[in-house]
Amino acid sequence: MTPFVRLIGASLFGCVFAAAAPHTARAEEPPPAAIAPDALPLPPEKFDPAALAESYFDESERFDAFLTYEVKRGPAGALFTIARRWRDGLAELLFDIREPASFDKWAMLMHQNRGASDDLFLYAGYATDLKVRRLAASQIERQALFELIALGDYRPTVRGELSYEAAPDETVDAVPCHVVIARTPASYLGFDRLELVFAAEQKLLLMQRFFRGSKEVRRLSTTLADYQDIGGRRLAMRWTARRWADGGQTEIVLKRVVETPDLPDRLFSHLNLKEQRFPEF
């Protein structure tokens, strides 16, 4: 047999031997560890923006009451009460300025209108010639008192006057929050867009951002720690207001709340603005 034939024979024998030899079992790799369900990132929680906002306003604003506020802005401060009542889904507010003494004759009456600007009347003693005057927005802006007491901060939201849409969630001071964008059909409330920031779990309002066009003009903020349960209603007892025009801050403290249904008509009359027969509480 030639060397070439022997080489081929040896190669074939080697292949047959290799095929017949038992295979060594390969160690199997362990399967990948399962990921616990609670370790997976949670999808964004879906919520109804209109239901969230309207439920909050029902609880915090839409009830008849006497409220006492103290506000401070730098060295200036004021103490005043608000009598608030609801009729046919619209609110009336009577403002009685208690301090400072230079404004203790001032009283204001606000009537809400559906789909239109509010009516505002002022009695300020000799400053209004002992008469009740109807105020326009331009007159309010010229009065130093309204730098301290911005009436819109105390105006409750009428059901149906805002439309709502959801915005991306945010985190405020480590609190996960839902954001709701609110709009009015027209700019009769003094803003084009309002961003409402709610604590997602507690469903409490922590921030309000007011816009005209693309510019933020005012912001109100509070914390979960500032909420108290008052007669079964969760109310923010402290807000910080900031106006971008001057960068100043106003501290608003709700000192007292007395829920009082069926407040009388005479309390909200123009005559009472002059007579100032306001309840003490």
In a domain, 233, yes or no: yes
> How buried is 116 (Cβ within 10 angstroms: 0-12 exposed, 13-18 middle, 19+ buried)?
exposed
In a domain, 269, yes or no: yes
Name which residue leads in pLDDT, 245 or 51. 51
pTM here? 0.80
DSSP assignment letter at 145: H
Q: Which residue has the tokens 């300025």?
A: 97
> How buried is 138 (Cβ within 10 angstroms: 0-12 exposed, 13-18 middle, 19+ buried)?
exposed
pLDDT class for 264, splitting at 50, 70, 90?
Answer: very high
Task: Give residue 131's Cα distance to chain centre.
Answer: 37
Type and span of the H or E element at 8: helix 3-20
**Mean pLDDT of all residues in 206-230:** 95
DSSP assignment letter at 158: P
DSSP assignment letter at 62: S
Least confident of 27-41, 186-200, 259-273: 27-41
Type and span of the H or E element at 227: strand 227-230
Q: What is the pLDDT of residues 164-178, one digit of tens each?
A: 999 999 999 999 999
Name every residue whose Cβ is closer than 8 Å to that of residue 163 and which is 6 or more positions away in sequence.
50, 182, 183, 184, 185
In a domain, 39, yes or no: no
In a domain, 114, yes or no: yes
Structural domains of the chain, count? 1
- Preceding peptide of 100 cis, ω within 30°: yes
DSSP characters over 175-201: EEEEEEEEE-SSSTTS-SEEEEEEETT
In a domain, 180, yes or no: yes
Q: What is the pLDDT of residues 120-143, one digit of tens each?
A: 999 999 888 999 999 876 556 556
Q: What is the pLDDT of residues 244-254, one digit of tens each?
A: 766 689 999 99
In a domain, 93, yes or no: yes
Number of H helices, E strands in the chain: 5, 15
Domain containing 215: what range? 49-275
**Six-digit token string for 167:** 């915005």
Q: How far apart are CA 77 and CA 59, in angstroms?
A: 28
pLDDT class for 243, splitting at 50, 70, 90?
Answer: confident
Count other C-beta atoms under 10 Å from residue 268's C-beta.
19
**Mean pLDDT of all residues in 57-72:** 97
Task: Give residue 59's Cα distance to chain centre.
Answer: 13
pLDDT at 281: 66
pLDDT over 70 (residue 95)? yes
State whether residue 220 is helix, strand or coil. Answer: strand
CATH number at residue 118: 2.50.20.10
Torsion sign across C-alpha atoms 174, 209, 77, 256? negative
In a domain, 67, yes or no: yes
In a domain, 144, yes or no: yes
Residues 239 and 252: beta-carbon distance below 8 Å:
yes
